[in-house]
Every structure is written in structure tokens, then in C-alpha cells.
Structure 1
């Protein structure tokens, strides 16, 4: 009982000492703090200092932190609204700690009373800092989250509008393209032309097909069609083989060594023409990327399966995709090519997801790998 009585008396003496020097502490604290007269809460700061000392008294008396909790919420909100630097805020709190502890150290209290008192004061300021910074961080996180949500919604709205515009333009382009292609075909059939003219017709035909491909990409991007009547089981192993064989002339022309490892008998359900488009897009991208490097150029294609899904992995040893671009590589209009449209991989992602699949990319300083996962269909 005597120990408790002694502790209560020591605490009472410390509280009385701080109470007697209340105004001195506030005046010195306010005078040495990092403050700007332009701060919208400039007049509140001295008020907060007084309440901090009251909260310290409550803590010394009964370890009570309810007043401290209310105070830190108020201060954190004010510092957020003032757009204050958290470093200045922490400095000012520690400045108050220093003023109080030095005053106690120089007091007429006994050495024992000073030691215990300073330890308790430091405990309080530690709690004050922790609670204030925690609340400050929580409010900052809410602001960032709100801003990110706004940016995402605005981005989504813009993409939706862009998709509608793209669909409108694509349809407007597709109709005359179809007519022009038809008339070119009729002209070619009508009479023999000189060899030079035939060459011109071939160039026109190729350019028309290239335009049609771009229009199709815009249509996929703007309003991805359902897989309608073309959904059927198809032999993925065979299609992967076909696409690699189709690309062989480009591999050879670009001095690319390729390997292919395919598990036979893998079937999936969907639109084979769309899956071909995905494979060709990724293989073409790999070839174009490898054309920029010196030394050995490699493309490896693997097709494997387990009980639930199959995986097509296309790997090239081209330059690493930068990290900032990697996380957005499937977004529309994001491209590593100087003259690219940034639509190809976005279309690939939509096609794969329409087939209940997933497409993933990983890139390091040794290789870049695209992994396509599709549900496996047992035959």
C-alpha cells in the first residue's frame, strides 16, 4: 500500500509542477515549432498545444488515452487539410517532448521522481506520435484511394467513349472497304492486264487486307463480339503447330532459332480463328522484337496440360519490357513499338478471356514469356 501511495504522491507532484509551468511550456513550444503564418489552422495550433498538456496530465494520472485519441484525430485532420508536411508535424511533437523533459530534468524534484516522470512523459509522447501518424496516414490513404477511384472511373468513361467512336468509325470504314475489294476483284477478272498493273493490283489487295485487319481490331476492342455460332471443340495442338509452321518463313528470314514442344491431343472449346489470331499476334510481336537484337535469336513454344487447363507458353530472348509498361501491357494503346497502335495485345486479352482463359506476361533481362491458359476439354 505504501508503494502505491508513494507513486500517487510522486505523480501528483509531477502534475502540479507541469501545471505551474503550463503557460511557459506552451509559449516556448509555440515559439520554437515549425509553423507558417499562412497555415489555415495557425490559431488552432497553440490551442492544440494546451490540450496536449491536458492529455499528458490525464495520462500521468491514470494512463488514460481517450483525450489523446480525440486530440490526435483533430490534429491529423487539420494537418491533412493544411496539406502540411508530416516531417514538420513529427518535429513539432518531439520539440514539445524536449521542452517538457528538459524542464522536469531541471526541476527541484528528486532524482528518482525526475527519472520516473521523464520515462512516463516519453511514453505519452510515443503514444501521441504513434496515434497521430497512424491517423494522418489513414486519412492520406483515403484521399489517395478516392483519387485513384476517380481516375479509374474517368479512364473507364473515356475508354467507353473511345470504344463507341472506334466502333462507329470501324463500321464506316468497313462498308466502303468491302465494296472496293469487290470492284477490284471484278476488275482483275474482267480482262488481262500488263504485268506491272497486276503487281499494282496485288499491292492494293495487300493494303486493303491490312486495313481490314486494323478495322477488325478496333471492332474487337470497342465491343468484343460473342462467340456466336463459331464455338466448337477444336484441336489446339494442331492449331499451335499450324501457326508455328505458318511463321517459319519469317523465322528463317530473321535468323530466329525456334523450338516447339507440344503435348498431343489437347482439345479446347471456342473459336479457332480467334485463337489463331492471338497466337499469330504474339509470335509476330516476338519476331519484331528479336529483329532489334544482335546475337542469337530464339523463340520457344510449349503446349502442356493438366486435368483442368492447358497452357501455351511463347518465349523469346528479346529485350526486357520495362516494369512500368509491363503492368499495363494489355491496356489499349500501350505499346513498345514506335509505330505500333497498341491494340494487338489488348485484343488478345479480350479474346482469351472470352474463352474463359487467362493471359500473363513475364519479362526479365534474359527472356520475355507470354502464357495463355485455357480450359482443357476432355475428348
Structure 2
């Protein structure tokens, strides 16, 4: 049977019934992919706008500091110049950390698992914190050997420790790492003695760009949860506990079993 042609359509819009049906099927088949692609592009646009907004803060501080330094030098006043240079250095570090965190989330690299001690992860995370955020930590519970991506989990603990110290006033403090080995999963709780997290914010704190601190990027906890979930685990907040308590739950793999 020959395909019919609709004579009422302009030449470039004419199509056979057969090709029209095939095109409709193709569009229906592509629609889910298109929706996913649109969602991805929307997320990229949203995160790009957020990054631009967040970078504006340190850049504004740097621009103002440079202006003041130039004015001071023109007037022959140098006493405060080191203070402003220190301010520029701090803001550059903040911007660098912000970009690194965004890049980490965008890459979404799969974990390269290896056997690593929980104590090693926590100690390395503490050592990678800046000097102005001193932290002491102690473990309660059994020593655990985890099969995780070492660098990614150091980043998780570093962000959790950073949050804890800042919640306790930014002057340092003690963080407790509570470990528990279950039959099906390992649980690790990171707790501090700060004001805690209200129940209504227990999920919001993991949203991209959400922060209550001027110097925060709003990305640290988002990245932590992303990393843990890439390992098949969960990261949650226990909002009714004294202080903030973040709970990491990692399913035990065949490598974890004796």
C-alpha cells in the first residue's frame, strides 16, 4: 500500500503517513532523554548562577582591600597594609575552596575503594583543616576498617569537622566520632557540642547553596552526602540530639566480611 501525501501542507511540511508515524514514535522515545537533559541543563544553570553569586562576596572584599591598599600607599601609610594583604589571602583561599568544592560535585567521580582505617581518615581530615580551625577528635566504639575512596572520605570528614568547629564558635573544640559495626552496615556518627540543628532544617542543610554563615559556600554538606551515596550509603542529621550529630551509614561489602 502506497503512503498518502497531504496536499494541503506546504512542500517542506509534507510528509507521508508512514513517516509521520515514525517521527511521532521517535519523539516519544526521545522525550524521557530530553527531559533528563533539560533537568541537567537547568541544574547546571542553577549551580552556575549560585557559584557566580557566591564568588562575588570574596571578590568584592578583595577589590575593596586593593583600593584601600593603593590609597594607603599613595599617602605613604604602610602600617595597615599587611592586615589588608592578609584579608586578601583569606578571601582568595575561600574562593579557591568554593571552586574546588563545586568542581568536586560536578565531576561526580566514582569511588576507588581501598581498605583504610577510620582513625586514619579522621586524623588526615583534621590535619587538612586550616590553622584557624583547630579541632581535637576522639573515637568511641570499635576501630573500623572501611572499604572506601580514601581521598573522598577525607573530604567528608574534613567538611563535617569544619562544620562542627564553626558551629562551636570557630575557636576550636572537641568532636566525637562514634563508630558501630553492624551485621549489614557500619555506622559512624560525628557529633559536636554546638547549638545543634533544628528538626525543620535536618534536610535543608544538605541542599546546594544553603548556609547560615557569611563565609560558607553552602556546598560542603551537599558534597558529603553525594560522596556517601556514591558508596551506597546514607548521610543524615539527628536533629533532636544535643549538639549536631551527623550519621554516616555504609553497607558492608564482601570485602568487609571475615
TM-score, with structure 1 as normaliser: 0.41
Paired position in structure 2 for 1:225: 108
Measured in 2, the distance between the counterparts of 1:250 and 1:372 equals: 26
Higher strand share: 2
Are 1:310 and 1:373, in contact at CA under 8 Å, matched by a contact in 2?
yes
Change (3 A) 1:238 1:367: closer
How far the C-alpha of 1:291 sits from its partner, in A, is 1.2
Tell me the distance in 2 between the aligned counterparts of 1:358 and 1:285.
Answer: 18
Q: How many residues align?
A: 190
Aligned equivalents of 1:287 and 1:242: distance in 2?
Answer: 15
**Distance change (3 Å), C-alpha of 1:304 and 1:359:** same
Alignment of 1:20-99 (within 5 A): none
Relative to its length, the structure with more helix (as a share) is 1
Give unpaired runs (5+ residues) of structure 1.
1-153, 170-199
Q: 1:299 to 1:212 in 2, by over 3 A?
A: same
CA distance in 2, matches of 1:361, 1:369: 6
Shift in Å, 1:308:
2.3
Q: CA deviation at 1:257?
A: 6.6
Compute the displacement of 1:304 (Å).
2.3
1:220, distance to aligned residue in structure 2 (A): 3.0
1:288 aligns with 2:166: yes
Counterpart-to-counterpart distance in 2, 1:208 and 1:278: 22
Query: Aligned partners of 1:342 and 1:201: how far apart in 2?
Result: 26
Bigger radius of gyration = 1
Q: Where does structure 2 lack aligned partners over 5 or more consecutive residues? A: 1-37, 54-83
Q: SS where residue 329 of structure 1 aligns?
A: helix
Per-residue CA distance 1:52-72 (angstroms, 9 max, x = gap): xxxxxxxxxxxxxxxxxxxxx
Cα 1:204–1:290 shift into 2, 3 Å:
closer
Structure 1 residue 363 and structure 2 residue 239: aligned? yes
Change in 2 beyond 3 A, CA 1:354/1:232? same
2: distance between equivalents of 1:273 and 1:316?
23
Return closer, same or farther for 1:168/1:356 CA change in 2, 3 Å cut-off.
farther
TM-score, normalised via structure 2 length: 0.58
The correspondence for 2:98, drawn from 214, 228, 244, is 214
Measure how far apart 1:239 and its partner are. Answer: 2.6
